[in-house]
Amino acid sequence: MDESLKSEGRSAAASFYTCFLEYGHLIKQMLEVACHGQPTTRTHETFALLNEELARERGFVAGVLALPECALDGLPAAAYADFVVCLHAQRAHIATLQQRSSAEELELVCPGWTPNAELEAVQQRLLRTFDVVGVRAAFSLDTWWAFTTAHIEQMKELLCRLHALAAQHAAMMNASRNASAVSLASAVSASRSDSAGSAMGCGEAAGLARPCSAGSAMASGEAAGLVHSVVVALARPAAAEPEAELATLWEGFSAAPAEVIKEQMLALLRRRMAPRRSAADDRSAATMASLSAQARSSYDESLVPESWRVPLSELAFVHQIGHGSTGTCYRAQWRGSSTVAVKVAHGGSESSWRSELSFLARLRHPHVVQLLGAVFSPPTYCLVLEFCDGGDLHDALQQPTPPGFVMRVARGVASGMAYLHSRGVLHRDLKSANVLLDRHRQPKVTDFGTATDGVTNAQARRRGGALTAETGTYRWMAPEVINHEHYSRPADVFSFAMLLFELLSHEMPFADLPPVLAASATALERRRPRLPEGTPVAVARLMEQCWEAEPTDRPTFEVIEQALVQTANSLSTAEHAWLDAENGHPVTAKASGAGRTRGEPPMAAGSPQQDVQGLASNSKRMRTMNPTV
């Protein structure tokens, strides 16, 4: 290509990216103006932010389609990073809407995050490979602009309906306040009349009748109306309560003849008015929520020391390499030279991101994936990790494996896990999909999203509780975890036994069963996967020790690591050859295809599992009826 054309292409790409950034700023300013002074809710604000990110996506892809082909290579690396952040910010906003919207709001906004198939296809294609050339071949600029604009117009219509819903709620609150004010005025008027009529022995103070005893109280119906007015006022958000009406309530109760009611209600009103008096110039509730969010972000920012922070501008995303329950991983170039993996947290997975960051930041071991840095750009959170170009162990087992692979991976994982336990870390989701392989096929334990401090059962009991049950992935989960019993480090040892089974068979544990039935087989029936025929005796013995039903009967990882070294030295030539079979030794019929499916996503700590909630109680009943179970 002519050098002048290359130069023009780079210039066009740089100009486009500058315009794209300005476009994003303009959209943000327009959003702020549109929302100013309007009735708003948290759902409305989040939905508006989602619409903003959709508009940014439209602008980016439209620019890519409009650029000449010679300019595509000149797009700054930050452009793709911004696009990834844009799409993951959409997911974060959708997660917030799903978690925090009322049923009425959720039904209204749900169509906003279900775009047409063409839009979804473009998003997935660009997220996986950033294949802008392929997108250009599939879509014209006019086509892209047409269906994204239609989707954004639908979003705008939904925003208007959210405006109307917020205004409707505000009107209902005003009507309720007016009704309360009328009820209060009637009750106070009746109270003064009654007090004036029974003034024997009573004095006047500040022009208001004062009762001499509780016996001169207003009629019960009137008292009930007065109390109802206060309850209605107290049920509303503090920021929505007009100061004048609070003052009216205060005055009315000051003049009320029922001393007991008065004292109780005044105490409540004092607590209600205290924040108002100390923050009379506070802005709207939406602004306060925004300030609160900023405060939380400031607090979260302290979790990422300056030495660990990586600006997004230093990362050039190449393509997607993995996708899990808490994040999506990308291959990326860092500062133009180092190849790294970037794990972008999914919306709603910020706590998992914080947990993984806190653990990885203190871990350094040849068989544990290394943290290189972190991106803190709310609502986008990323981990920058060492890149393992061998992929994960689960995928490697779907292909022929080289000689020595089984024992090398087993020893490496045992070494990494021994280190984790020595540092007080309980992994809780050890499986083949969470073991990466570097270019030399050396394993590295990864994914600490469900990890926790590796306390013992005794320590957990002293703290007044136990570790969260049903955390991990069912096929690899220890029976004590499934049964909601106390568990600690031996639970990881049980999962390691299941990983050994994968190494031998090249298939998942209980591949012929659904995940829940696999858990039931492990916890209730005390079944274990059938070992492949010909498994070396020493290997079989170690596996059986690791998956013992009683946690205290399982060896530690230090013992396992030593046993694997001894086993490797003691195996015969025939046994080594058996272990080196490139396709493993499957135990499930291949016709079902069960052994070739991807591992299930892990159960988040504390996540409700309605379909297996009876496993623990059933297990306890079985042990009660038959102590040998």
Contacts 24+ apart (CB under 8 A), 215-219: 216/257, 217/257, 217/258, 217/261, 218/187, 218/190, 218/191, 218/194, 218/256, 218/257, 218/258, 219/190, 219/194
How far CA 417 is from CA of 231, 324, 471, 498, in Å, comes to: 57, 21, 18, 14
Q: How many other CB atoms are there within 10 angstroms of residue 161's CB atom?
A: 13
**Is 429 a catalytic site residue?**
yes
The Cα 316–Cα 200 span in angstroms is 87
In a 3-state reduction of DSSP, which class is residue 605?
coil
Which one, of 304, 223, 308, 322, lies nearest residue 264 by Cα?
223
Amino acid identity at 344: V
181, 185, 188, 189: CA torsion to nearest 10: -170
Q: Are 433 and 356 in contact (CB under 8 A)?
A: no
Which one, of 206, 209, 213, 215, lies nearest residue 190 by Cα?
209
Contacts 24+ apart (CB under 8 A), 369-374: 369/436, 369/444, 369/445, 369/446, 371/308, 372/310, 372/334, 372/340, 373/308, 373/309, 373/310, 374/304, 374/308, 374/309, 374/310
Contacts of 56 (CB under 8 A, 6+ apart): 20, 23, 24, 27, 86
Within 441-585, where are the H helices?
457-462, 479-482, 490-505, 515-523, 537-546, 557-570, 573-579
Give the helix, strand, coil percentages of the chain, each rounded to 5.
60, 10, 30
Amino acid identity at 346: H
Residue 463: Cβ-neighbour burial (10 angstroms; 0-12, 13-18, 19+): exposed
Which one, of 55, 43, 60, 85, lies nearest residue 152 by Cα?
55
Q: Are 598 and 473 in contact (CB under 8 A)?
A: no
Write down the catalytic residue from 82, 392, 429, 447.
Answer: 429
The Cα 607–Cα 57 span in angstroms is 32
Dihedral class, residue 335 (left if φ above 0, else alpha if ψ from -120 to 50, else beta): left
How many Cα atoms sit within 13 Å of 17 on the Cβ side? 19
Element (H, E) at 360: helix 350-360
The Cα 13–Cα 276 span in angstroms is 53
DSSP bridge partners of 163: none
The Cα 366–Cα 265 span in angstroms is 66
Contacts of 390 (CB under 8 A, 6+ apart): 396, 436, 437, 438, 439, 441
The Cα 334–Cα 313 span in angstroms is 9
Annotated catalytic sites, by residue? 429
